[in-house]
């Protein structure tokens, strides 16, 4: 019989961060179980934005910890994590977005995150393709940036192994082992494994894992996507991650090209029970309508990026994030079970929140208080519901549509 102090289900960025923090911060044994390859689902398809100041202040210190963790991981491993230290530029072109930006600046100031206001000319100097004349307020957050999501995720995994964690890929968890109301281990195709704690970090399938303990997590797999232009010297090269909340879009550099992300009005959601075991055999794209989405976004984006109607798009990347109705993560003990925890419902912020999530779970499962207040992330905060219903999934889709705007969701 195999026994570990902690079992982590899922080898994406969250599961690997949890393993890293547990192995680094304690001498307790840790096992990560991943049924495919590490970071092969949502983690590798993320845009990798690291934006510290947010419209959700409880998450800000968690992202800041991730920003600080790049240097720590590089010291632990002696290799790069793939972080691009380009900063972020936030453009407010309406009174509503200006008020939101001022709130983010206050949040940044309270957490010691540097920022500065830019003139229209200063903004154009940093982002040559930008028409800044429409902006009411422009703020640069110089310590933000973006990261290669696969490199970063697997860096967590290599560091976790260095500190003693075991990681098993191509191993499927087919059930939880329960003793009364306590989750005591997992059943895999190759045998049972017992643990002092079990942590569900299974991404789009996390609700299916937790349902085995009688509590399907309140989240829905939701399509996230972005487009990548062909290389072009007129807008390629390094520039700050540029956020345009007035048209619900962002841009970041990509090897001489540009990533363009858009939050559409109705994001596609999926029933987790109908997803395949290997997401690489599944496409969240429904026909070719994703080209309609970028086409519809052209006109509002062109006010800020006049050259976009002439841009040639070389690639389209889509994956499944997991959204909750309020656009906020699920983190903590799973209701109704002891010894069972979750880190899920990333709401498109899994890469940025990863170190904060790993730190919090590491403390929680070892009986310590996390350094962050995780009460706003309680998995049971929505009360009884059916997370597989169309009505619930529509609420999660709406939460993604509002992601660019820092307004309350429900």
In degrees to the nearest 10, what's the CA dihedral of 202, 208, 213, 214? 140
pLDDT, tens only, 24-60: 999 999 999 999 999 998 999 999 999 999 888 999 9
Q: What is residue 401's predicted lDDT score, i.e. its pLDDT?
A: 85
SS (HEC) of 196-227: EEEEECCHHHHHHHHHCCCCCCCCEEEEEEEE
Give the pTM. Answer: 0.95
Q: How far apart are the first and last CA of the chain?
A: 45
pLDDT, tens only, 384-402: 999 999 999 999 999 998 8
Q: Each residue's pLDDT tens digit in the chain (410 positions)?
A: 899 999 999 999 999 999 999 999 999 999 999 999 999 989 999 999 999 998 889 999 999 999 999 999 999 999 999 999 999 999 999 999 999 999 999 999 999 999 999 999 999 999 999 999 999 999 999 999 999 999 999 999 999 999 999 999 999 999 999 999 999 999 998 999 999 999 999 999 999 999 999 999 999 999 889 999 999 988 888 999 999 999 999 999 999 999 999 988 888 899 999 998 877 777 777 655 677 888 889 999 999 999 999 999 999 998 889 999 999 999 999 999 999 999 999 999 999 999 999 999 999 999 999 999 999 999 999 999 999 999 999 999 999 988 765 433 32
Length of the chain: 410
Q: What is residue 404's predicted lDDT score, i.e. its pLDDT?
A: 62
Q: What is residue 356's predicted lDDT score, i.e. its pLDDT?
A: 98
Side-chain half-sphere of 367: how many Cα atoms within 13 Å?
A: 3
d(CA 159, CA 286): 38
- DSSP3 helix / strand / coil % (the chain, rounded to 5): 35, 25, 40
Radius of gyration, alpha carbons of the chain? 21
In this structure, the number of other CB atoms found within 10 A of the CB of residue 315 comes to 12
CB 256 within 8 A of CB 236: yes
In this structure, the number of other CB atoms found within 10 A of the CB of residue 124 comes to 16
Which region holds residue 77: left if phi is over 0, alpha if psi is between -120 and 50, else beta? Answer: alpha
Residue 65: phi, psi to the nearest 5? -65, -40
Helices and strands (DSSP H and E) totals, the chain: 10, 19
- In DSSP terms, 319 is beta-bridged to 224
d(CA 145, CA 195): 37
| Chain position carrying tokens 């009364």 | 180
d(CA 132, CA 208): 46
Residue 88, classed as helix, strand or coil, is strand
d(CA 202, CA 176): 13
Q: What is residue 286's predicted lDDT score, i.e. its pLDDT?
A: 61
| Chain position carrying tokens 């632990």 | 76
Residue 28 burial by Cβ neighbours in a 10 Å radius (0-12, 13-18, 19+): middle
CB 311 within 8 A of CB 294: no
CB 314 within 8 A of CB 294: no
Round the average pLDDT of the chain to a whole number and report it: 93
Q: What is residue 287's predicted lDDT score, i.e. its pLDDT?
A: 58
């Amino acid at each position: 019989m195999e026994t570990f102090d902690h079992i982590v289900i899922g080898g994406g960025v969250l599961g690997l961060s949890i393993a890293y923090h547990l192995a680094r911060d304690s001498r307790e044994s840790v096992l990560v179980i991943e049924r495919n390859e590490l970071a092969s689902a949502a983690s590798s398809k993320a845009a990798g934005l690291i934006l510290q100041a947010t419209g959700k202040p409880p998450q800000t210190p968690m992202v800041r910890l991730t920003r600080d963790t790049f240097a720590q991981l590089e010291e632990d491993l002696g290799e790069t994590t793939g972080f691009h230290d380009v900063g972020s530029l936030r453009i407010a072109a309406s009174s509503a977005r200006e008020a939101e930006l001022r709130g983010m600046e206050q949040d940044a100031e309270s957490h010691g995150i540097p920022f500065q206001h830019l003139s229209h000319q200063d903004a154009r100097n940093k982002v040559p393709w930008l028409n800044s004349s429409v902006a009411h307020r422009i703020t640069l957050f110089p310590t933000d940036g973006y990261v290669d999501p696969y490199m970063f995720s697997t860096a967590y995994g290599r560091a976790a192994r260095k500190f003693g964690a075991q990681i098993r890929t191509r191993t499927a968890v087919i059930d939880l082992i329960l003793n009364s109301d306590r989750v005591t281990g997992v059943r895999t195709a190759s045998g049972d494994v017992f643990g002092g704690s079990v942590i569900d970090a299974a991404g789009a399938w996390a609700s299916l894992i937790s349902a085995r303990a009688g509590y399907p997590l309140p989240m829905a797999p939701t399509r996230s996507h972005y487009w990548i232009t062909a290389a072009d010297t007129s807008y390629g090269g390094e520039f700050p991650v540029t956020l345009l909340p007035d048209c619900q879009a962002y841009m970041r550099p990509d090897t001489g090209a540009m990533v363009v992300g858009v939050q559409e009005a109705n994001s596609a959601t999926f029933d987790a029970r109908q997803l395949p075991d290997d997401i690489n055999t599944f496409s969240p794209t429904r026909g070719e309508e994703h080209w309609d989405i970028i086409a519809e976004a052209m006109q509002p984006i062109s006010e800020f990026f006049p050259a976009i109607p002439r841009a040639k798009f070389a690639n389209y990347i889509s994956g499944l994030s997991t959204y909750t109705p309020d656009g906020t993560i699920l983190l903590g003990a799973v209701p109704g079970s002891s010894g069972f925890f979750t880190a899920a419902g990333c709401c498109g912020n899994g890469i940025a929140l990863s170190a904060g999530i790993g730190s919090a779970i590491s403390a929680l499962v070892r009986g310590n208080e996390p350094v962050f207040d995780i009460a706003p992330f309680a998995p049971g905060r929505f009360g009884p519901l059916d997370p597989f219903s169309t009505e619930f999934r529509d609420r999660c889709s709406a939460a993604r549509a509002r992601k660019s705007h820092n307004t309350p969701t429900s």
